[in-house]
Amino acid sequence: MTITYITGAAPSSAPQCNGGTRAEATCRDLKIVVCTPSGAPSAPSCGAPKLIVTEPNAVFHLSGNQYAIPTLVAHTNRPDGSTGQTTFAVWTRCKTDVYAFAYSGLNCPDADVVMAASTDLGNTWTLGTVDTTNFFHQFHPDVEVDASTGITNIAYHSMVNSFNNYDVLMLRQIPPGTTMVGPAIRVTSVGSSASSDPHLAIATGSTGGIYGEYIGISAKGTGAPGGSHLYIGHAKDMRYGTYGQPPVNAPELNNHVSRVDY
């Protein structure tokens, strides 16, 4: 059993954080804890936290509407015959240092989805990328192994317009036995803009607050080609709501589930 989480400030000596000069702001430690079940109702036995990576460019808000999308870490474990298991961790990072922009207000101009993989229960990690190739935002990743095929699924949001405020749902897959991320698969054909929901602006003011917090995925299959289903829970503004007096129609953000068959 494994647990991943993010701490607050990174150690002040971390070189990734410029010697600690900004450890209190954008630097975050991503960690994993490995636990051994003891059988209910006894508590599991857990080891000491292990560092996945010190992330110097954690995300707080995204530019293009100041969405509040903090860096979080998601992980999954893929059973592997040779090593016991491979652990994949995914998170959102800012491609650039927000401190390089004097008036950024910690709003990231280009968010990416990155990953790390470990084959020794988190003692060592190999860093990699999921989607970092363009200037659009990619964010809110989640990861899940399909036990029937060994395919690892990574789902996330990706902006698709030049204003960086209109997104679709994307999927990438890692074949069994490898750590190589496959090409992007577009899951939703119609885009969504969270900023079009008036309740977001009303509830959070000018800083932006939530963005359909967050996405979640689940995969199950028969092991045969075409016999697997991936379910992705996410938020989209697919219908109009009525707001205020006199009534005004505007998009509203609601929970949706998309299914991918493979």
Question: Does position 190 have pLDDT exceeding 70, yes or no?
Answer: yes
Paired residues of 229 in beta bridges: 220, 261
- The pLDDT, as a whole number, for residue 68 is 73
At residue 151 the predicted structure's pLDDT band, cuts being 50, 70 and 90, is very high
- The pLDDT, as a whole number, for residue 14 is 59
Q: How confident is the model over 26-45, as pLDDT tens digits?
A: 788 899 999 999 998 999 99
- The pLDDT, as a whole number, for residue 204 is 47
Q: How confident is the model over 80-92, as pLDDT tens digits?
A: 866 689 999 999 9
Residue 214, preceding peptide bond in cis (omega within 30° of 0): yes
DSSP reduced 3-state for 158: strand
Share above pLDDT 70 across residues of the chain, in percent, rounded to a whole number: 78
Cβ-Cβ contacts under 8 Å for 188 (sequence gap 6 or more): 168, 169, 236, 258
- The pLDDT, as a whole number, for residue 198 is 60
Q: How far apart are CA 262 and CA 259, in angstroms?
A: 10
Q: Hunting for tokens 């009303």 — which residue is that?
A: 202
When mean pLDDT is compared over 104-108, 200-204, 244-248, the highest value belongs to 104-108
